Amino acid sequence: MYVKICGLREPEHVTAAVEAGADAIGFVLTRSSRRVTPERARELASAVPSHVLTVAVFAGEAPEEVRAAALEAGVRAVQLHGDHPHEDFTALKDLGVTLIRAGAASTDLRCGAFDEDLLIVDAPKPGSGEPWDWAAVRGRPEGRWMLAGGLDPSNVAEAIAAAGPWGVDVSSGVETAPGVKDSGLIGDFVAAARSASGGSPSSYR
Ligand SMILES: O=C(O)c1ccccc1NCC(=O)[C@H](O)[C@H](O)COP(=O)(O)O
């Protein structure tokens, strides 16, 4: 099970995610209560070992803006959330980073359909913490896909059983208030996701 913890803003939570065994860590560089500057993302990412993927999250920005911010942040992956067209992924291919496409269940559910490397199937409102009908996508997504939207340490096992994803992604469910992460919840989430999948991590690069 691949585990991504998203919306990190403080070094102590980055450390908690790495020590808990997260595979990927996300920094939100778009409009959000979790937004950080590219400079702050670079500071946070500099403490992350190379086996953990650092991800910059965007939603609606033009490819040139994404490129500039991702380069400034020094991340190894870019996540485009929402209605980004295929051309935006094509325009970013030469950045040489992992491309992640994220959207609701109504999107094209084939990982790679937009030349992306990883897919996230999320709730209609990203970062809202609202659970949705995870079972509705069971058997539909293809390839390396993460389930997101309303997951937390207490329901991630149920969500994995319902949807059968390759990985999971969380933000609100490891917070005590919007934008305020909790190291204990981060550890609990990674442990719950891993034990639900028999303890084995999914590999990606
Ligand atoms: O987290 C945000 O505030 C956000 C804002 C705008 C676009 C994307 C955003 N987050 C992307 C993520 O990958 C979240 O982890 C994902 O939507 C799940 O969020 P949650 O339901 O809060 O666990």
Q: Which residues, listed in sequence order, are joined to residue 120 by a DSSP beta bridge?
A: 102, 146
Burial 118-130, CB ≥16 within 10 A → b, else e: bbbbbbeebbebe
**Minimal-distance CA residue to ligand 1 atom 19:** 127
Q: How far is 205 from 185, CA to CA, in rounded Å? A: 26
Q: How far is 16 from 187, CA to CA, in rounded Å? A: 7
6 is catalytic: yes
Tell me, using a 6 A CB cutoff, whether residue 6 lines ligand 1. yes
Per-residue confidence band for 201, with pLDDT thresholds at 50, 70 and 90: low
CA-based end-to-end distance of the chain: 14
CATH of the domain at 10: 3.20.20.70
Q: How far is the CA of 172 from the centre of ligand 1 (A)?
A: 8
Please name the amino acid found at residue 102.
A
Number of folded domains in the chain?
Answer: 1
Q: What is the pLDDT of residues 31-76, one digit of tens each?
A: 999 999 999 999 999 989 999 999 999 999 999 999 999 999 999 9
Task: Evaluate if residue 200 carries a pLDDT over 70.
Answer: no
Q: How far is the CA of 152 from the centre of ligand 1 (A)?
A: 13
CA angle 98, 99, 104 (to 5 degrees): 140
Domain around 72: 2-196
Q: Of 153 and 205, which is predicted with more confidence?
A: 153
Q: What is the pLDDT of residues 81-126, one digit of tens each?
A: 999 999 999 999 999 999 999 999 999 999 999 999 999 999 999 9
